[in-house]
Amino acid sequence: MTLVLGGARSGKSAHAEALVETSPAPWTYLATAQAWDDEMRERIALHRARRGEGWVTRDVPTELAAAIREVRGPVLVDCLTLWLTNLMLGGADLAAASEDLASACADAAGPLVLVSNEVGLGIVPDNALARAFRDAAGRLHQRLAREADRVVFLVAGLPMVVKPAGGHA
């Protein structure tokens, strides 16, 4: 499992797609985004257009662990922070969902690449909901990074390997 982290527009999705495409197709893209507005619909369309042939897309805004368990072959999850947002808005038990996700990732039947936004590098949010989200994302990232074979952090389109394959962080 590879965990790809970075800020908004850091190049993490394109990098993750390239990682998955080193395995034979078909590749499964588990999309957690929901098209709430025109901007998000446009962003989703751009991602789909960039992927091209060989990709099978499944929309899984909340049931991510179950989807990972079902798929055979290379999988890209994009992205964990939107999944976390969907769960928070639905009032889910984030700790239980995160553990279920980690378990599903450990049992994945093929190469797995997870994309997530690193949201903990900025100022302390001014409201309780944003702080709870930042904290939940940080806990999720730590949990998955422990289990990951490799962790990559993207800055300005440049990948920095935080945990090399076979490494211990």
47 tagged catalytic:
yes
- Choosing from 15, 47, 141, 168, the catalytic residue is 47
Q: Does the annotation list 13 as a binding residue? A: yes
User: Is 98 labeled as ligand-binding?
Assistant: no
50 annotated among ligand-binding-site residues: yes
Confirm whether residue 6 is marked as ligand binding: yes
Please check if 8 is assigned to a binding site: yes
10 in a labelled binding site: yes
78 is in an annotated binding site: yes
| CA distances, 101 to each of 40, 97, 116 (Å) | 25, 6, 14
Length of the chain: 169
102 is in an annotated binding site: no
Q: Which residues are annotated as a binding site for GTP?
A: 6-13, 31-33, 48-51, 78
Residues annotated as catalytic (active site), given as ranges = 47
Q: Which residues are annotated as a binding site?
A: 6-13, 31-33, 48-51, 78
